[in-house]
Structure 1
Amino acid sequence: MANPKRRHSVSRRGKRRANWKLHMPTLSICPMCKEFKLPHFACFNCGYYNEEKIMETKKEIEEKRKRKGKS
């Protein structure tokens, strides 16, 4: 089995880990509701993508459940 011949120093380890960064996600503005959204994703606030409704929001699902329960 492969094992390291020598121990890597703390500075070598630190140099390697220097590139482990968190990046701020790129955000765009939804043209329908003007909220921030991820590019190439449907808006979580209104459910639109390319000005076309493609999914229901949590509010809409809850309203449907309430209406269904009352009937």
Structure 2
Amino acid sequence: MAVPKRRKSKSKRDMRKSQHKVAPINVSSCPQCGEAKLHHRACPSCGTYKDRTVIETEA
């Protein structure tokens, strides 16, 4: 069975882990009310999705 002959250095470990970063969340503005919303989801403030009201909101 294959086993590593030597331990990886801290530099090599850190170079590998440098790619494990968190990507920022992409948000767009709602065409109806202008609030920030996630892509392909109903707007939480006005309740519209693709120019239709899908969630009834209070205001």
TM-score by length of 1: 0.66
Instruction: Tell me the secondary structure at the aligned position of residue 28 of structure 1.
Output: strand
Task: Supply the AA of the counterpart residue of 1:48.
Answer: T
In structure 1, list runs of 5 or more residues that go unmatched.
61-71
Q: Structure 1 runs of 4+ off > 3 angstroms?
A: 1-5
Larger relative strand fraction: 2
* Matched positions, count: 58
Cα RMSD after superposing both structures: 1.9
- Structure of higher CA gyration radius: 1
Larger relative helix fraction: 1
Identity %: 47
**2:50 is the alignment partner of 1:42:** no
TM-score by length of 2: 0.76
Which residue does the alignment assign to 1:10? Answer: 10
